[in-house]
Amino acid sequence: MGTWSSRGLRGSTLEDMINMTNEHYRQQKLALIQKIPTPITPVEIDQSTRHITLAYFEKQSTVDYIGAVQGIPVCFDAKECAVKTFPIMNIHEHQVKFMEDFEKQGGISFILLFFSSLNETYYIPFKDIKFFYERSLNGGRKSFTYDEIDKNYKINSTSGAVVHYLEGIKRDLQNR
């Protein structure tokens, strides 16, 4: 069973930007996407600030976000990477399975990956995630590199949408 502490805040900048984008999408009636909270059981609480300082994860989470874009079900996870190589171990088996099952039900699954050293965010379609994941299981690389991802899926900002991932969804649908 995993524990939560300060490392649980990794990726919070990306998630804050996605949350702002999701609110903009909701206000513009473009999408309704919700952040899925990870269920935790607090173990230690700082009584002076009422902040949780140690907790256990109750169960494995699936993805960070789920919802609908113009009637299309979507689910995705937000990941950050400080270097140009992303370890596959950061995408867990249960997450891949959930995204695969979601796709089989007619939904769209993907990862938003922020390369913090480059200040660039990419939409990684599920087909690419599955390829990288299966490659790692079959004795290949245990990571994928910046150079391997499709640069056509680079995410740009627009007014109100800091992480404008709707363009990635559009391109993903066109490529299916």
- On whether 95 is known to bind a ligand per the annotation, the reply is yes
53: annotated binding-site residue? Answer: no
The per-residue pLDDT for 90 is 92
Q: At what angle do helices 126-137 and 93-104 cross, to 10 degrees?
A: 140
Evaluate if residue 53 carries a pLDDT over 90.
Answer: no
pLDDT of residue 99: 97
Q: Report whether 77 belongs to an annotated binding site.
A: yes
| Res. 3: pLDDT tops 60 | no
Q: Give 58's contacts (C-beta < 8 A, 6+ positions apart).
A: 39, 40, 41
Angle at 48 between CA 45 and CA 53, to 5 degrees: 25
Question: Which of residues 60 and 77 earns the better pLDDT score?
Answer: 77
* DSSP designation for 166: H
Give the confidence band of 51 by pLDDT, cuts at 50, 70, 90: confident
pTM for the full model? 0.82
Sorted by where each begins, the domain ranges of the chain are: 3-174
Segment 115-168, tens digit of pLDDT: 999 999 999 999 999 999 999 999 999 999 999 999 999 999 888 899 999 999
CATH numeric code, 3-174: 3.40.1350.10
Is the distance from CB of 71 to CB of 105 less than 8 angstroms? no
Q: How far are the Cα atoms of 18, 25, 64, 129 from residue 154, in angstroms, in the given order?
A: 15, 19, 20, 16
